[in-house]
Structure 1
Amino acid sequence: MTLTLDSILRSAGIDPTEAMVIRHAYVREHEDTGLVGIHADSTDAEILYYTGRQSAKQRVFPVAPPKVWVVFVREGGDRARLWSVVENRREISNDGAVRTFDLSVSDQLADLRNRLVIGWRSPRTWWINGTTAAKYPVMEIADAQPVPFPGFDRLILDYPQLQAVMRDHRYASWRTALASVMGIYLITDTRDGRQYVGKADGAESIRQRWNVYATNGHGGNVELRTLDPSTFRYSLLRVFDPATPESKINEAEEHYKRALDSRTWGLNRN
């Protein structure tokens, strides 16, 4: 059974009947509006700007375009690679020649940007309604590019990012780095600023400890069990080599609890 765009859209919560699908081509100038086109080196901001300016001719662009636009870029032949999903907030202006729309990039299908390739069956049509595009075949879902590890002292993750780091193959190098150290970490509840100082020592690495948080949200900590982890932010205060004596890690943990006053004003109970 051939995989189609329909299942991809629906998995992202996009109803094809309430979406339109666009395939941009690299051109110097838009043939309908005369506006500067896009090219292989165009930035995301330039592509978004280009997408938001459409012809005022009714035969060229829908009179009432839907809220969701799924935007592809022509890759040659009948292939089209996903650029992004954008939300049409409203029409800003219409001077009789060009209509301008207020567009914002959506998180929908964000993990498939530049990876999803579909077969475009209407070579002379650059936009189609979602129900038609839903029948188009998925030709490729490329491997995602690995994300470089930023370094221990630059690591700040929200809860969805933590879960991605622990599960997504793009973050394999991050997991390797976190598995190589023990240390002291900080969890901040961004709703009220309260902080929790924790440690990973003995046979437990930072990766192992954080993987528990990614799984259940609280890591077994009593004070965190009653809170929603969706607003937690994770960072490292200090890392140690696995050969470091446990007593030294305990001293460091105690120092940070006192320095941040996390027992009195934060989420530490001991």
Structure 2
Amino acid sequence: MSDSPDDSGALHLKHVLAAAGVTDLTDVFAIRHTAKNDGLPDLWTASPEAVLAYTREQDSRFRVFPENPPRSWLVFMDDGSHEGAHRSRFYGAYENDGEALSERTELNRSFHIKASPLLAAMKNRLVVEWTAPRRWHRRGTLAGDFRVLEIADPQVIPFVGYDKVRLTYQRLKAIVDDPHYSRWHSALSAVKGIYLISDTSNGKQYVGKADGGGGILGRWSAYAHNGHGWNKELAALPKGQCEHFIFSILRVFGPEAIQRQVDEAEGHFKEALLTRGKFGYNAN
């Protein structure tokens, strides 16, 4: 097995691992997480603690998950598809110290895993083509042949797409003020839109529209700076309530959209999501 790119110049995961000093791929295990309501519902906002907890718990059936998985686990996140390639972005590595036998249940096994520095410089940068996406884990000897699609600039954080935006209030503040999110700034400022704020403490929601200067970014910047965006219903909430807010996008419009279209969409989502009255924060 070659540890350098082939004559065509194609780069594979095994070449990246070799550059990091990993030559024995039998001690490597690759796992791919996809968004699931009963698992990691949002891959981009999942905390490190949530990812570790989700990764360490596996199916008890050996035909589903290996009885004795290798020591080095490489965790990837589903990054969508493009031109037929199933993109998976490297999240981080874990060191497996074996099964936590005292935690085994009829349905699940848990493993003693801890964060590893392996490929730390590639976190959120390395994107590979995950072949046969129905197979969510791969032995290193197979994963090594995954084609490298991208090694992104470490200083620029990629935009996830409008339909995948789901931001906690703390992450929204980080995005608004951090130049490393320049691609987010460009994408969110380029469109008008209808957005949703969900309060995780009580389930209530607020539908709003971003139709002014700066698009969605301009509107959300106000929330990032004071927690309520000068909205009277949200401003009336107890101080610190914004810490429970999740921001997402329901619909986007190009800058040429007429005002009536935006207003009608806002009204539709208020009705559809019952955000007026006792179920939400919209006053009208």
Superposition TM-score, scaled by structure 2 size = 0.48
Match for 1:164 among 164, 174, 187?
A: 174
Mapped partners of 1:207, 1:258: distance in 2 = 25
Please give the per-residue CA displacement for 1:208-263, whole angstroms capped at 9, x wherever unaligned: 00111111111111222224111111111111111212222111111111111111
Corresponding residue for 1:262? 275
The code of the aligned residue for 1:48 comes to: Y
Corresponding residue for 1:48? 94
Mapped partners of 1:47, 1:259: distance in 2 = 42
Match for 1:217 among 227, 232, 239?
A: 227
1:234 and 2:247 equivalent?
yes
Mapped partners of 2:212, 2:175: distance in 1 = 23
- Once the two structures are superposed, the pairs formed by residues 20-99 of structure 1 within 5 Å of their partners are 43=74, 48-50=94-96, 52=97
The code of the aligned residue for 2:274 comes to: D
Mapped partners of 1:47, 1:203: distance in 2 = 42
Q: CA deviation at 1:177?
A: 0.5
Q: Residue 48 and residue 241 in structure 1: after superposition, are their counterparts in 2 closer, same or farther (change >3 A)?
A: closer
Q: Could you say what secondary structure the match of 1:150 adopts?
A: coil
Mapped partners of 2:203, 2:181: distance in 1 = 28
Corresponding residue for 2:193? 183
Give the total of aligned pairs. Answer: 167
Mapped partners of 2:221, 2:182: distance in 1 = 13
Q: CA deviation at 1:186?
A: 0.4
Corresponding residue for 1:194? 204
% identity of equivalent residues:
41
Q: Could you say what secondary structure the match of 1:252 adopts?
A: helix
Please, which runs of 5 or more residues in structure 2 have no aligned partner?
1-19, 25-69, 77-91, 103-110, 123-152
Q: Could you say what secondary structure the match of 1:208 adopts?
A: helix
Q: Could you say what secondary structure the match of 1:49 adopts?
A: strand
Corresponding residue for 1:253? 266
Mapped partners of 2:173, 2:207: distance in 1 = 19
Q: Highest Rg: 1 or 2? A: 1
Mapped partners of 2:71, 2:246: distance in 1 = 41
Corresponding residue for 1:121? none
Corresponding residue for 2:160? 150
1:114 and 2:118 equivalent?
no
